[in-house]
Amino acid sequence: MPAEQVRTVVAAGGVVWRPGADGGIEVAVAHRPRYDDWSLPKGKLDHGEHLLPAAVREVTEETGLAVVVGRRSIRTSYPVVEGIKRVDYWVMQAVGGEFEPNDEVDDLRWLPPGDAAALCTQEHDRAVVADLKRDDVPCMPTLLLVRHGHAGSRAEWDGPDDLRPLDDRGRREAARLADVLPSFAPTAVLSARRTRCEETVAPLAERLGLPVAPVAELGEEEFADDPQAGLAVVERLLAPRPAPGVTVVCSQGGAIPSVLLSLGVRWEGVKGRLYPPAAKGSVWVLGGRPGAMTADYYRNFDADPAAPEA
């Protein structure tokens, strides 16, 4: 069969960890009776799903655990009967729930990473566990930088630009963020003093029962006038936390790339491009410090192009 005709089966999952009794960590490894193997929890996408929500859903369904999403892990690919299976993984911290045997997973073991890797049947699962053990970047983020959603044309808005609201597309983007971002366990929602920024995170804040607090230093003009003040806010929000969770900050396209560059984040997606992208409705998930930072970019949370059709 020509390579272009090989079917790609898209799936997503998590390498789930919790603090261990000895000060280290433990990893959840699942036994699947259908295959009689030990693996990491994962599964195929449903119609209309983005990879990240699919990963959280599958982990919860298979393990019964409540998890907080951390940094992206690796993508694995391997042959299956249907073609090539592609699995995107995320690091996830277990924060509750309890495993009960089910049709897909009949046993779950918590093991130190080395023992967990040894128990995994497949080499590609062992590679995901090895990625969890990286010590150059943190497992869990502390800051989400959100670019406000679409707000129509500035030229067609008859009023102060600071008051320009989201349009229909922007409101759909805001609703999608409210669906997905709770997986990162936000503990605070902040916004630049722009109506379109506040409206972008308002549905998320309402869902979480949190206020939308102002962070004037990270508005576009305010950051340009005093970048050190804005960076001081960002550095404070990046500080390590004793428990998993993030602060969500909604800002503008003139501020977010400058913040990222100041933190040492570069973009390799387009040759010769200096500034990291910050499309409307996008999210940067950040953790750590310059030189030891995880920085994951989510252009949007629309359905994955390879998700099954209805």
DSSP letters spanning 136-167: SS-SS--EEEEE------STT--S-GGGPPP-
Which residues make up the CATH 3.90.79.10 domain(s) of the chain? 3-132
What pLDDT, on the 0 to 100 scale, is given for residue 307?
Answer: 79
What pLDDT, on the 0 to 100 scale, is given for residue 42?
Answer: 98
CA gap 243, 261 in Å, rounded: 27
**CA distances, 6 to each of 43, 51, 122, 237 (Å):** 20, 21, 22, 45
CA gap 116, 111 in Å, rounded: 5
What pLDDT, on the 0 to 100 scale, is given for residue 272?
Answer: 58
State in words which class domain 3-132 has.
alpha beta
User: What's the gap between Cα 34 and its chain centre?
Assistant: 30
Place of tokens 């379109």: 196
End-to-end CA distance of the chain: 26
Place of tokens 């272009």: 4
- Please name the residues in contact with 120: beta carbons below 8 A apart, sequence gap of 6 or more: 29, 38, 39, 40, 126, 129
Question: Nearest Cα to 139, choosing from 291, 268, 292?
Answer: 292
CA gap 25, 51 in Å, rounded: 26
Six-digit token string for 282: 């996008």
pTM, full prediction: 0.95
* CB-count burial class (<10 Å; 0-12, 13-18, 19+) for 32: middle
Per-residue pLDDT of the chain (310 residues; tens, 9 = 90+): 455 678 899 999 999 999 998 889 999 999 999 999 999 999 999 999 999 999 999 999 999 999 999 999 999 999 998 899 999 999 999 999 999 999 999 999 999 999 999 999 999 999 999 999 999 999 999 999 999 999 999 999 999 999 999 999 999 999 999 999 999 999 999 999 999 999 999 999 999 999 999 999 999 999 999 999 999 999 999 999 999 999 999 999 999 999 999 999 987 765 556 789 999 999 999 999 998 999 999 999 998 887 787 6
Q: What is the pLDDT of residues 40-76, one digit of tens each?
A: 999 999 999 999 999 999 999 999 999 999 999 999 9
Which residues make up the CATH 3.40.50.1240 domain(s) of the chain? 143-298
What pLDDT, on the 0 to 100 scale, is given for residue 6?
Answer: 81
**8 A C-beta contact, residue 13 and residue 42:** yes
What pLDDT, on the 0 to 100 scale, is given for residue 1?
Answer: 44
**8 A C-beta contact, residue 186 and residue 247:** yes
- Please name the residues in contact with 100: beta carbons below 8 A apart, sequence gap of 6 or more: 64
What pLDDT, on the 0 to 100 scale, is given for residue 271?
Answer: 59
Query: Which helix or strand (DSSP H or E) is residue 171 part of?
Result: helix 168-180
DSSP state of 110: E
- Please name the residues in contact with 26: beta carbons below 8 A apart, sequence gap of 6 or more: 17, 18, 19, 20, 110, 111, 112, 116
**8 A C-beta contact, residue 244 and residue 185:** yes
Q: Which CATH superfamily is domain 143-298 in?
A: Phosphoglycerate mutase-like (3.40.50.1240)
